[in-house]
Amino acid sequence: MWCSFDKSRVTIALTCMVVASVVASDIAFAARQRNYTPDEFRSVLRGLGYNVKVTKDPLTDEETKKAINQFQTGYKLKVDGKVGPKTQDQAAKIVEILQANLNTVLKPKTLLLRDQFYSPQLEELVKEYQKKHQLSETGIADLQLRQKLNEEVKTIITKPVTKPEPTVKPTA
């Protein structure tokens, strides 16, 4: 035999590989899946400009269902008033982009974590951005603000990098 493994060792090795791949795929799936609590999701909706009060109550009141429907309609999701995986993923993506864009434009001392939450720090940086642009300091990143921020980031990213000119020219 070209290899020193006997049948039992090969079986153990293959079993370990299968178990490791199943665990890895479960972890990857769990990392992609969003599980907002009701107050976290309301906070995201409020932070993105939807008219909801942040409470821990189930997401079944008329005000919240209306906001969820508006969100789903605006992002071309299935409009059912329920906060399923696709709705949660879309909300999380928007928040993560907002966080990255504010980090790029404002360069805060403590960078925002790129996560799915509309945190107090995120709200404060939105207010700072609003102040910088003489907007009402609400901490709400509505669609208009996010579009303005996206354009500013595009300008920063596509700005040509200039090479510094030497102050003293070499003599030959």
Interval 100-116: pLDDT, tens: 999 999 999 999 999 99
Distance CA 124, CA 117 (A): 13
From CA 134, how far away is CA 84, in angstroms rounded? 37
- The residues near 134 (Cβ < 8 Å, ≥ 6 apart) are none
74 pLDDT above the threshold of 70:
yes
* CA separation for the pair 37, 72 (Å, rounded): 18
Q: Mean pLDDT in the chain?
A: 84
Whether residue 156 is predicted with pLDDT greater than 80 in this model: the reply is yes
Residue 12 is predicted with a pLDDT of: 52
Task: Give the pTM.
Answer: 0.74
For the chain, the residue count is: 172
- Any idea which of 83-87, 141-145, 155-159 has the lowest mean pLDDT? 155-159
User: Quick check: 80 pLDDT over 80?
Assistant: yes
Structural tokens at position 94: 């928007």
Give the pair of three-digit tokens for residue 149: 């921020």
